[in-house]
Amino acid sequence: MAGQPYAGRAGDVAGFRAGWEVRGEAWGPGAEWLLEQLPDLLGASDDPSVFAPRHRIVALARHRRPGLRLTRTGLVLESLIPSILEQKVTTDEAYRAWRLLVRKFGEPAPGPVPGRMCVMPAPRTWALIPSWEWHRAGVDNKRASTILRAVRVAARLEEAVGMEARAAQARLEVVPGVGPWTSAETVQRSHGAADAVTVGICICRGLWGGRWPGIGMRTTR
């Protein structure tokens, strides 16, 4: 498929309205896989009808966003590495690190895409990134070391996509440096796990406790 378009029909992908359909076109070696994955990427595997909010604020949020569905990428490492980069830094810092590393060590994306769009590096490429490049991207040694440990067992981690979310989190947390926060962030993206709640950071108490008074929460710093 490299260099050639692969077009396909994803059907009534998300079922937002009767008669709607989505058509996709992809390029490169993963084109066919991507189109097969397109329904999940658009939220077709999420069934919002089973969600019954029990709190007024949650019910109101759902009412304001009709048709909202959680997506599923089916890619563990591609969700895990950005989550590790987000540990204990601001979103802007994490995005900057991801952008610099992917543009420098990734490959140009196939097809008619913006000139600087790149594909994430392969696990071996991540493993060969010199220490000073991590430093230039603003990634401290702890996060860089966690990523290096993860890519060494990339195949085992990718197997987690076929597991239930809780089992997948347990598999990810075997890697030193990957805790409940990082594993939850990962399976939210890779599995579309609605019940994987991000916990374990000090800001959660202020963000959640103020909206759900009377609910006790334990946080870590």
Q: Are residues 84 and 141 in the same domain?
A: yes
Percent of the chain with pLDDT over 70: 81
Q: Are residues 91 and 119 in the same domain?
A: yes
**Structural domain that includes position 153:** 77-179
CATH number for the domain that contains residue 132: 1.10.340.30
Q: Is the pLDDT of residue 9 over 60?
A: no
Domain assignment present for residue 206? The answer is no
The residue-averaged pLDDT of 113-124 equals 91
Question: For residue 221, what pLDDT is reported?
Answer: 37
Ramachandran sector of residue 88 (left: φ over 0; alpha: ψ -120 to 50; beta: rest)? left
- Write down the pTM of the prediction: 0.81
If we measure between CA atoms, which residue out of 37, 25, 27, 38 comes closest to residue 110?
27
**Which of the two residues, 68 and 170, has the higher pLDDT score?**
170
Q: How many domains does the chain have?
A: 2
d(C-alpha 217, C-alpha 221), whole Å: 13
Q: Are residues 48 and 122 in the same domain?
A: no
Q: What is the pLDDT of residues 139-194, one digit of tens each?
A: 999 999 999 999 999 999 999 999 999 999 999 999 999 999 999 999 999 999 98
Domain assignment present for residue 32? The answer is yes
